[in-house]
């Protein structure tokens, strides 16, 4: 599992899962681009990796903005000369029943998850095809790419949508040696999850402890959260896999919450 001489762009890499993937990638030998809407946090993450001896570039990028994505990917290529791996990871959550969900919140979530995955894929895939060195595209799905939960309509719809995009990119990318796979984590303790625990408690009229035990971890085999390191290990494995034998797949990492 070696990413030596590879360059990876990870969106949403200034926090949580994306940040851990960036750290795991640099430890596996890759140069990493921390692409995030939060410029300050992206710069801090890149600095930390740099101080540890890694090669990291911070790029301010709103993945739902077409021009911003094009400019950001150009910056990565100008700095590193290539993009071998894309991790489309940036995401948000919004908790509301369908009947209370505003169109603006529906569109905002879909734009970040799905438009963002499309725009970053298109920009990187064009480069990968032209460069002729193959590549790997990883999408951050979720157990919610496979099944549903209440209060999460746009999130579940977007994560299911990523599965379709991943399969198409796997087919179109194959002749150029570009693989596409979807990572589907269970609940991971990041700011995205910490924010929704009190929100779900309020919506459902239960305690935060009950949200964790009776909703988030209820169907796991051992009552444990998945960790950012678990997800990052899987990302390194998928990014460094050497052939088209492993493409168009969705891999669940969830302490058995979802079994395929
Ligand atoms: P997080 O909130 O810790 O990190 C998300 C990052 O995305 C932040 O740095 C944020 O600034 C960035 N971001 C948000 N909007 C952006 C935009 N428009 N453009 C660029 N960057 C943007 O969340 P996380 O838990 O690490 O989530 C990362 C991904 O993992 C998301 O796609 C999420 O849906 C997915 N996921 C998370 C869990 C979980 O339990 N935490 C489970 C399954 C899937």
Predicted pLDDT of residue 211: 96
Instruction: Encode the chain in three state secondary structure.
Output: CCCCCCEEEEECCCCHHHHHHHHHHHHCCCEEEEEECCHHHHHHHHHHHHHCCCCEEEEECCCCCHHHHHHHHHHHHHHHCCCCEEEECCCCCCCECHHHCCHHHHHHHHHHHHHHHHHHHHHHHHHHHHHCCCEEEEEECCHHHCCCCCCEHHHHHHHHHHHHHHHHHHHHHHCCCEEEEEEEECCECCHHHHHHHHHHHHHHCCCHHHHHHHHHCCCCCCCCCECHHHHHHHHHHHHHCCCCCCCCEEEEECCCCCCC
Predicted pLDDT of residue 146: 98
Tell me the mean pLDDT per 10 residues along the chain, length 260.
93 98 98 98 98 97 98 98 98 96 98 98 98 98 97 98 98 98 98 94 94 96 98 98 97 96
In this structure, the chain runs to a length of: 260
Q: What is the pTM of this model?
A: 0.98
The answer to whether residues 122 and 130 touch, using CB atoms and an 8 Å cutoff, is no
Q: Which residue out of 35, 90, 149, 224 has the highest number of ligand 1 atoms within 8 Å of its CB and is therefore the one to mutate?
A: 90
Which residue in 25, 155, 187, 225 is the catalytic one?
155
Atom of ligand 1 nearest to the CA of 187: 40
Predicted pLDDT of residue 1: 61
Atom of ligand 1 nearest to the CA of 185: 43
Superfamily classification of domain 7-185+229-253: NAD(P)-binding Rossmann-like Domain (3.40.50.720)
Which residues does ligand 1 sit against, CB inside 6 Å? 11-12, 14-18, 36-38, 41, 61-64, 89-92, 112, 140, 142, 185, 187-188, 190-193
Predicted pLDDT of residue 176: 98
Annotation marks residue 155 as catalytic: yes
Predicted pLDDT of residue 260: 84
Q: Which residue out of 71, 165, 190, 232 has the highest number of ligand 1 atoms within 8 Å of its CB and is therefore the one to mutate?
A: 190
């Amino acid at each position: 599992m070696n990413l030596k001489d590879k360059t990876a762009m990870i969106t949403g890499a200034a926090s949580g899962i994306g940040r851990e993937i960036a750290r795991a990638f640099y430890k596996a030998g890759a140069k990493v681009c921390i692409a995030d809407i939060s410029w300050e946090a992206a710069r801090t993450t890149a600095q930390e990796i740099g101080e540890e001896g890694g090669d990291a570039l911070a790029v301010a990028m709103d993945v739902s903005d077409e021009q911003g994505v094009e400019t950001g990917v150009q910056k990565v290529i100008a700095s590193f000369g290539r993009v071998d791996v894309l991790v489309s990871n940036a995401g948000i959550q919004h908790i509301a029943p369908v009947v209370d969900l505003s169109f603006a919140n529906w569109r905002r979530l879909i734009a970040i998850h799905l438009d963002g995955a499309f725009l970053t894929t298109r920009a990187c895939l064009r480069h990968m095809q032209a460069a002729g060195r193959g590549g790997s595209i990883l999408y951050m799905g979720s157990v919610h790419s496979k099944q549903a939960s209440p209060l999460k309509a746009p999130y579940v719809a977007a994560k299911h949508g990523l599965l379709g995009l991943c399969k198409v990119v796997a087919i179109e990318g194959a002749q150029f040696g570009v693989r596409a796979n979807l990572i589907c984590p269970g609940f991971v303790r990041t700011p995205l999850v910490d924010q929704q625990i009190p929100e779900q408690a309020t919506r459902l009229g239960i305690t935060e402890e009950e949200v964790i035990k009776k909703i988030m971890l209820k169907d796991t085999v051992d009552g444990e959260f998945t960790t950012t390191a678990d997800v990052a290990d899987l990302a390194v494995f998928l990014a460094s896999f050497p052939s088209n034998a492993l493409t168009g797949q969705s891999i669940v990492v969830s302490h058995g919450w979802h079994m395929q």
